[in-house]
């Protein structure tokens, strides 16, 4: 804990990414923590106000002390309202300048009204009542200052106004107060400020740790999401991969029509060998985009999925479409793929075509059997001249 006090900028930021933490977010969390502490201390504040009331009421001919108590009650309500307003602004992430100014004013008023309760009691006032009022005043000032530990402006406004008004009370009543009390109040306010400031450093450290941990959690969640994405997505094309496909191994559980389209790019090895793998990758990515576009246009007739099985081979699963509709989708895919070839250095387009095998996934068979018939149909399309669709028997 001492290291945070001596070197708050270093001890609370030892992790390598600490410099990347948003200072505004750290301050926001520190203020929220302070406001939560203030809310939890509400019962203690009410108790202090009640004891002050009892002390003042116990003084016969209380005179001006009664008015000062009323001012303290009004100040208490003002403080609660300004703190609630600031918390609402923080929660909704609205600008805080005016809300912070309002809290500063309320704390300054609070310090002044507490100091006024140190006003000398009339002659004959019970010593216990007078002592109770003064002890409670000092305790409340300390409690509020520590609660505001991470909020220097309102905290120092409270202590400064308390010292100024309390010193004024002392100097205005030289008979009742020794002038040395001006120094006593200064030592009290200064000591409370030092303690509260050190507490504030620890609150800021805790807020920074919270923000850093939140950032770590977000980065971890992003990494996990990316890992999950890569576990069932092809990293080059973004299509579903073979692993994801074989999660569909179970036999058909419904009677809705489903078809498999095995898509194999024609002479793709020659493209890689002649123009390089960069051009080959371009063709694969463009093919995947063409597949997505066609399936998006056909999304009204069912739920379709596209997979890259590896190399230049793709698989499309068509659901909710009859054989004719599936045949139409296959022809649209063949035509779309024929237009994905990149422009070569001589200005000509690289010809790209695909052979497509179409097979119905029957209700009584598993994926492997349907996929085998789709593959065979694709080989038949290649054997009959390529750039065509062949429907399996």
pLDDT tens for residues 300-311?
666 788 999 989
How far apart, in whole angstroms, are the C-alpha atoms of residue 55 and residue 69?
10
Sketch the domain layout of the chain as residue ranges.
2-221, 240-391
Q: CB neighbours of 105 closer than 8 A, spacing ≥ 6? A: 82, 157
pLDDT of residue 70: 93
Rounded distance, CA 337 to CA 284, Å? 10
Note the pLDDT of residue 2.
Answer: 37
> What is the per-residue pLDDT across 200-224, written as a single tens digit (0 to 9) for each?
888 888 888 888 888 888 889 888 8
pLDDT at 14 over 70: no
Report the distance separating Cα 151 and Cα 146, nearest Å. Answer: 10
pLDDT > 80? residue 121? yes
Angle at 247 between CA 244 and CA 251, to 5 degrees: 140
CA 337 to CA 265: how far, in whole Å? 9
The tens digit of pLDDT for each residue in 136-164 reads 999 999 998 988 888 888 999 999 999 99
Q: What is the per-residue pLDDT for 22?
A: 74
pTM of this structure: 0.58
Q: For all residues of the chain together, what is the average pLDDT?
A: 85
Q: For residue 1, what pLDDT band results from cuts at 50, 70 and 90? A: very low
Query: Does the structure show a pLDDT above 80 at 4?
Result: no
CATH architecture of the domain covering 240-391: 2-Layer Sandwich (3.30)
């Amino acid at each position: 804990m001492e290291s945070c006090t001596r070197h708050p900028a270093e001890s609370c930021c030892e992790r390598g990414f600490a410099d990347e933490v948003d200072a505004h977010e750290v301050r926001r969390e520190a203020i929220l923590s302070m406001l939560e502490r203030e809310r939890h201390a509400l019962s203690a504040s009410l108790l202090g106000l009640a004891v002050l009331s009892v002390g003042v009421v116990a003084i016969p001919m209380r005179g001006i002390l009664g008015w000062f108590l009323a001012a303290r009650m009004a100040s208490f309500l003002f403080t609660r309202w300004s703190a609630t307003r600031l918390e609402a602004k923080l929660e909704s992430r609205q600008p805080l300048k005016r809300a912070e100014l309002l809290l500063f004013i309320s704390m300054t008023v609070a310090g002044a009204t507490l100091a006024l309760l140190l006003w000398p009691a009339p002659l004959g006032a019970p010593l216990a009542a007078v002592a109770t009022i003064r002890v409670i005043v000092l305790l409340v000032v300390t409690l509020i200052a520590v609660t505001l530990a991470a909020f220097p402006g309102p905290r120092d406004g409270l202590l400064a106004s308390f010292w100024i008004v309390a010193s004024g009370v002392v100097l205005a009543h030289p008979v009742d107060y020794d002038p040395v009390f001006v120094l006593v109040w200064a030592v009290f306010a200064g000591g409370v400020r030092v303690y509260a400031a050190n507490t504030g450093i620890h609150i800021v450290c805790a807020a920074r740790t919270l923000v850093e941990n939140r950032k770590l959690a977000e980065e971890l969640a992003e990494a996990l999401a990316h890992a999950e994405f890569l576990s069932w997505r092809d990293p080059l094309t973004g299509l579903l991969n073979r692993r994801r496909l074989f999660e569909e191994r179970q036999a058909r559980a419904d009677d809705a029509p489903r078809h498999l389209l095995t898509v194999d790019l024609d002479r793709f090895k020659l493209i890689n060998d002649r123009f390089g793998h960069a051009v080959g990758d371009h063709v694969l990515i463009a093919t995947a985009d063409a597949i997505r576009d066609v399936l998006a246009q056909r999304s009204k007739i069912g739920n379709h999925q596209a997979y890259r099985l590896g190399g230049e081979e793709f698989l499309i699963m068509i659901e909710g479409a009859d054989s004719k509709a599936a045949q139409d989708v296959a022809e649209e895919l063949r035509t779309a793929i024929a237009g994905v070839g990149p422009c070569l250095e001589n200005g000509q387009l690289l010809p790209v075509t695909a052979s497509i095998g179409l097979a119905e996934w029957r209700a009584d068979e598993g994926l492997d059997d349907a996929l085998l018939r789709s593959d065979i149909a694709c080989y038949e399309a290649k054997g009959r001249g390529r750039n065509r669709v062949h429907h399996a028997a």
